[in-house]
Structures are given as structure tokens and as C-alpha cells.
Amino acid sequence: MADGPYEKIDPSKLILRDELAIDRTVLANERTVLAYSRTALTLLIAGVSFLHIVATGYLRVIGALCLHAGVLVGVFGWLRFARMKRQIESARKGTRTEET
């Protein structure tokens, strides 16, 4: 039963083109987690700014929502990164003996 897109790959049959494709996927996964982190940090800064500047009103509610959204985006991005990383490592398992 295939758990992810890389479960169908037989590591013993990978060729250079496949290894390079996996390397590109690793880099894309890292870019994606950085984008999630940037978005989460922006939401957190916006939330703190709204809460600090505005004393009362609906902007304070928006600030609190931004704080919660920032935390959720950060956690979601990290979980997605970790899941994809595990899938990539399982696809590569047994193909390389040294880390680059």
C-alpha cells in the first residue's frame, strides 16, 4: 500500500537522473518550509503590532487572530516539511552511503 508518492520507487533501480530529481525535491521542500516560516513570522509580527498599537476595537481582534494564524501556519508548515522529508528519505534509502 503506497503511503506517499515515493513509496512506489524501488531504491535499487534509481539512476542519476532520479537522484538529481530527488535532490531538486529536497531543495523545493526546504524552500517551502522557509515560505511557511516567513508567512508565520509575518502573521505573528502583524498580530503583535495590532495588539500593541490598538487599545480597543476590532483591530485588536484581528491582531489576536493573526497571532493564532501565525502559530497554526508555522506548525502546519513544519509538519508538512517533516512528512515530505520522511517520504524522500524512504525513497532514497539504500541508494547512497554518504551524505552530501
How many C-beta neighbours within 10 Å does residue 21 have? 13
The residues spanned by each domain of the chain are 15-92
Task: Indicate the pLDDT class of residue 5, thresholds 50, 70 and 90.
Answer: low
> For 45-99, what is each residue's pLDDT tens digit?
999 999 999 888 899 999 999 999 999 999 999 999 999 999 888 887 754 444 4
- Find cell 508567512 and name the residue: 39
What's the CA gap between 92 and 47, in Å, rounded? 41
What's the CA gap between 8 and 22, in Å, rounded? 14
> For 23-58, what is each residue's pLDDT tens digit?
898 999 999 999 999 999 999 999 999 999 988 889
pLDDT of residue 70: 98
Q: Take residue 33 and report the three cell numbers written for it.
A: 518550509
What's the CA gap between 47 and 61, in Å, rounded? 9
What's the CA gap between 28 and 20, in Å, rounded? 12
